[in-house]
Structure 1
Amino acid sequence: MTPIYDLHCHSNASDGMLTPTELVLRAKEKNVNVMALTDHDTVQGIDEARKQAEQLGIQLINGVEISTNWENKGIHIVGLGFDKTHPKMTALLEKQAQVRFQRAKDIGAKLEKIGVQNAFEETQKLADGEVTRAHYARYLVSIGKVANVQQAFKKYLMQGKSAFVKADWVDIPMAINVIHQAGGLAIIAHPLRYNMTTKWLKKLITDFKNWGGDGIEVSGCGQTKDQRQLIARWANEYQLLASVGSDFHFPCAWIELGKSLELPENCQPIWEKLMII
């Protein structure tokens, strides 16, 4: 039987809702054989996840999803298979944590201006690790300000909305360089979710490749066949390795660990370079 890989998912060390242990237990239920925990700008959940994965016979790969700025747009770069204790990686993630903390405080201040009192302090209570926009969205739902998380982003938290705060994230070349220095591979996460035209996406991929990037997420949950084939074509055109990831954050009907993550046959899987058997 072909192994099931899921190389992009989140725990409550960032904006996921399951603990690292619960996440790995769910991966086992969904027959995932190899997984990477890729929390946003933190590796704090990996040790706990690894302990559970070893008990269940799942191969866990060190991962992280690094927030970057490119052409005034936020782009996520996934790092896989790196030494999470490497000093360059540690320094980068410490800097990202400071940026994320300040952004969270600034979002809280903006929400206070529109009548949401003590937003930062109250949202902190929902976070086991860093405070993210997802935590603010959940808080806004909990107080009845919006009906659901999607509405919270569309009304308040997306770029151009009243509570959006642009963060001073690292740039893509720095993210790639640090991932490489720590012995890992750098991947463009969910390329079709950046709300960009094909022209801009190709510019992003070209820049990423020229800066030494390694791969691109080809297969994810909820894609159409045409979307997957399009990204596969780009992977081949730019000689990038093909990765797969659900981007799982919490149990729901449309995004699930290991669900529909098969690669088109003409792609070179990222795990061949990660030396996973």
Structure 2
Amino acid sequence: MANLVDLHTHSTASDGIYSPTDLLQQAHDVGLKVLALTDHDSTQGIEEARAAAQDLGIELIPGIELNTDVSGGEIHVLGYFLEYQRPEFQAVLKILRDARERRGERMVELLNEEGVKVSWERVRELAKGAVGRPHVAKALMEAGYVQSIAEAFDKYIGKGCPAYVPRYKLSPEDAVRLINSANGLAVMAHPIGLPGLDKLREWLPGLQKAGMVGLEAYYGPYTAKDEQALLSLAKQYNLIATGGTDFHGPGIHPTPLGGRFVPVEAVERLKKLAAQRQGSTPPAFELPPPEEEH
């Protein structure tokens, strides 16, 4: 069965390798008809992506991905059909991006302290926008310290490594409420992993109460067993089962763009909910204070 939908992709507006235009061209080349651009903490690539999508006959869904913190790790929350131009929403995103920038700079400082010489200026050049860990990884590759982006994460900048730096901390509920403040639709990204299904069942009622509407069940490397478990949970909690590849570019995630089947029904259900919210006044959002850095 041909896959026409990918609801989880990244561009150079955050930590993807390809520009929004190049990403849309690749989506066209693999036969996608619907694509969501879900950059981390940023909607800065959406206008460019929209122009490319229109030229290529692809339906673009404006989206975002927010990283959040829980005990022992992190949860990611996707947002779809955002009214992303809202000034209050953009003001919060700028705070998060500025914190991400400081994080990247601190990682470079820690690498230099370890005798691993990469420059912050080069990381910024590689990013061409919001800085993410893949840009630090690419600088490490250029300098000859690692042979791949994956090795950079495993050896230097992944959690527990010498140059890992924690992020600005949001809870999953914070992320859901932030997405709702732009009349967006919040979906938990790649739910299997950190929490486990039992923990996930504990969290779902609270996340639904905050306004979450979906689970990413059709995700990149998930097995058929994983998928069925999440589809069962989605049905139990009346959540929309979405999906995508989490495509950043070669060498970052194993699934190629459009390489995971996602039913068109997921898009139709999201569009129906988005139409109900369109034009309504969204709830306000207040960003919690950042934790002190050590």
Deviations 1:57-103 (Å, cap 9, x if unpaired)? 11111101112222352221111001111123212201111110111
Distance in 2 (alpha carbons) for counterparts of 1:256 and 1:108: 29
Change (3 A) 1:198 1:3: closer
Distance in 2 (alpha carbons) for counterparts of 1:3 and 1:152: 32
1:190 and 2:190 equivalent?
yes
Structure 1 residue 121, shift from structure 2 partner: 2.4
In the TM superposition, 1:214-233 aligns within 5 A as 214-233=213-232
Structure 1 residue 12, shift from structure 2 partner: 1.0
**Corresponding position of 1:128:** 128
Structure 1 residue 43, shift from structure 2 partner: 0.6
Q: Would you say the 8 A contact 1:99–1:169 is kept in 2?
A: no
TM-score relative to the length of structure 2: 0.85
Unaligned 5+ residue runs, structure 2?
A: 276-294
Give the number of equivalent residue pairs: 273
1:64 and 2:64 equivalent?
yes
Structure 1 residue 11, shift from structure 2 partner: 0.8
Instruction: In structure 2, give the amino acid aligned to 1:273.
Output: L
Change (3 A) 1:154 1:204: farther
Structure 1 residue 239, shift from structure 2 partner: 2.1
Distance in 2 (alpha carbons) for counterparts of 1:262 and 1:67: 23
**Corresponding position of 1:273:** 270
**Corresponding position of 1:89:** 89
Distance in 2 (alpha carbons) for counterparts of 1:211 and 1:270: 22
**Corresponding position of 1:144:** 144
Deviations 1:185-237 (Å, cap 9, x if unpaired)? 00111112x43433333334343223221111110222221111111112122
Structure 1 residue 112, shift from structure 2 partner: 1.1
Structure 1 residue 161, shift from structure 2 partner: 1.4
Change (3 A) 1:205 1:144: farther
77-86 or 169-178, which deviates more: 169-178
Distance in 2 (alpha carbons) for counterparts of 1:25 and 1:259: 15
Structure 1 residue 2, shift from structure 2 partner: 7.6
Q: Would you say the 8 A contact 1:241–1:270 is kept in 2?
A: no
Give aligned-pair identity as a percent. Answer: 33
Distance in 1 (alpha carbons) for counterparts of 2:260 and 2:236: 23
Q: Would you say the 8 A contact 1:68–1:172 is kept in 2?
A: yes
Q: Would you say the 8 A contact 1:9–1:37 is kept in 2?
A: yes
Instruction: In structure 2, give the amino acid aligned to 1:271.
Output: E
TM-score relative to the length of structure 1: 0.90
Distance in 1 (alpha carbons) for counterparts of 2:207 and 2:267: 16
The 3-state SS of whatever aligns with 2:271 is coil
Change (3 A) 1:7 1:95: same
